[in-house]
Each structure stands twice: as C-alpha cells, then as structure tokens.
Amino acid sequence: MTDPIADYLTRLRNAIKAQHRVVEIPSSKLKKEITKILFDQGYILNYKFVESQDSPIGTIKIALKYDSVDKVNAIKCLTRVSRPGLRQYTGYKDMPRVLNGLGIAILSTSQGVMTNKEAKEKKIGGEVLCYVY
C-alpha cells in the first residue's frame, strides 16, 4: 500500500456511506493521532486502540457519530490533500481555512500532528494531510 492515510480516510468514508456504527482500521502512530484529533474536534463518537498478540499491527475501532433525529453523520467530507506523488506544505502565515473556518485541516508538523488552528497559534507550518468538515 502506497498511501495508508488515504486508505484510512476511504475506510471512514465507506463506513459513513453504508451508515455503519463502528469501523475497524489497521493502526499506525499517525492514524492514532488523526483519530485523537477527530475525537477532540467532535467528528467521531469514540475510539479504541486494540493491540493484537498475533500480529505487531493492532487495529483502531472507531464509533461514528450520527444525529439522533435525522441520522446524518457529523463528518460531511474527508479530503486527502497531500499525496505521495504531490506533497502539500504550508507555512503558518498561509494556513488553509476549511469551509471558511467551520472545518479543520489536519497537519503533520515538527511538533506532531495537529489542526490548522493549533499550528497557527504555535506559529509552525507543516504538511497538510487532509481536510475534514
């Protein structure tokens, strides 16, 4: 697999389209950090990191968040920005605004994975991984 982050986002998108409650994704450190950001920003209901004794790679179980009345998911769009063939970097002065500030951009910076708002406050730039709204 050449792009595990794109696979992570595609699994989430497919689970949302099929209206699943829980989705299991193979884990990595970067995927765990992205999952924590999605939980902190209120896009997912809950998550659990499951370590396996059979293989060194564990899984991430993500409980998706739906509105109780009209069954609409909290995540409207997941878009991969930086790809292995075309990396997208940004400085803190040129930080992207997603949906005029209503969405978030997830960045990989020298100080870890964070949202565009946190990176702008800390005045650091990095690779734009994805947009979420």
Q: Class of 4-64 per CATH?
A: alpha beta
> Look-up: residue for tokens 């970067």?
30
Query: Residue 1: is its pLDDT beyond 80?
Result: no
- Residues 106-126: tens digit of each pLDDT: 999 999 999 999 999 999 999
**pTM exceeds 0.85:** yes
* In the chain, domain spans: 4-64, 78-132
DSSP letter for 13, please. Answer: H
DSSP letter for 16, please. Answer: H
- pLDDT band of residue 17 (cuts 50, 70, 90) is very high
- Residues 65-100: tens digit of each pLDDT: 999 898 899 999 999 999 999 999 999 999 999 999
The sign of the CA dihedral 18, 84, 126, 99 is negative
Mean pLDDT of the chain: 94
- CATH tag for 78-132 (out of 3.90.1150.10, 3.30.1490.10, 3.40.50.1000, 3.30.420.40): 3.30.1490.10
Candidates 50, 66, 70; CA nearest to 58 is: 50
Give the pLDDT confidence score for residue 68 in this predicted structure: 87
